[in-house]
Structure 1
Amino acid sequence: MDFIGTSDPLNAHHIFSKSYAKYRKGEDFKAIFEFLGEGIFNADGEAWKFQRQLLHSILNNEELQNHMTTTLKLKMECTLFPVLDARVGGVRGEVDMQDVVSRFMFDYVCLWVLGFDPGN
């Protein structure tokens, strides 16, 4: 399976906004990431365009953005920073950032989407 990767914002804009039809994910991608379902991450063509427009309109809501910002700031102050402070001040002084950030993001997404903080 061939993949194209980029970190250039202009390339990303071209791929995701201007020429999305030229960059199809294909059947191999869908087979590997089947667990993601038929959502925006696996969609191609018009289905992807529709889902992108829908998600874009939802995320551009100012009230939602303010809520997300407030929730994220509070979650960071109450959970992420204390965890990092405790672990860095520990005996080993090592932090598994992938574990910490993964747990933090899981909790944040649950809080944002479901209104429930699992406190992972």
Structure 2
Amino acid sequence: MFGRRDSRQTQRALRYFKERRVEVSLVDVAVRPPAPTELRRFIGRFGASAMLDTSSRLYRGQGLAYLRMDEAEMADRLLAEPRLLRLPLVRMGEQASVGVDEQAWRRWLLEDGGRLGAAAPSRP
């Protein structure tokens, strides 16, 4: 899971998995941003516009709401400035989500058949 320790959304995701005894590994993007290849995987799957945190101070501060950007320009901004990411970015095997998506997480756990209990290996 990619997120920020001080982010309410990230804390909500961590709590969701902890309550279900699923171990997760948190990569704090404030300390270590996602590798460009990892971020490109998320962008390829969801699109840059879905990953842009339009409620962030940085987004508003840079006036990005008033700019017209295509997906490639948005992707470049996200790669250059991880603080613009909508967090958390959660990956579990081949599954992935952007932001708090409890329905997707619930579906992943059901599809997994409960094998992701407390003894499950953590996946970033």
Q: Normalised by the shorter chain, which TM-score bucket? A: under 0.3
TM-score under structure 1 length normalisation: 0.23
More contact order relative to length (CA 8 Å, sep ≥ 6):
2
Q: Which structure has the greater CA radius of gyration?
A: 1
TM-score under structure 2 length normalisation: 0.23
Structure having the larger proportion of residues in helix: 1
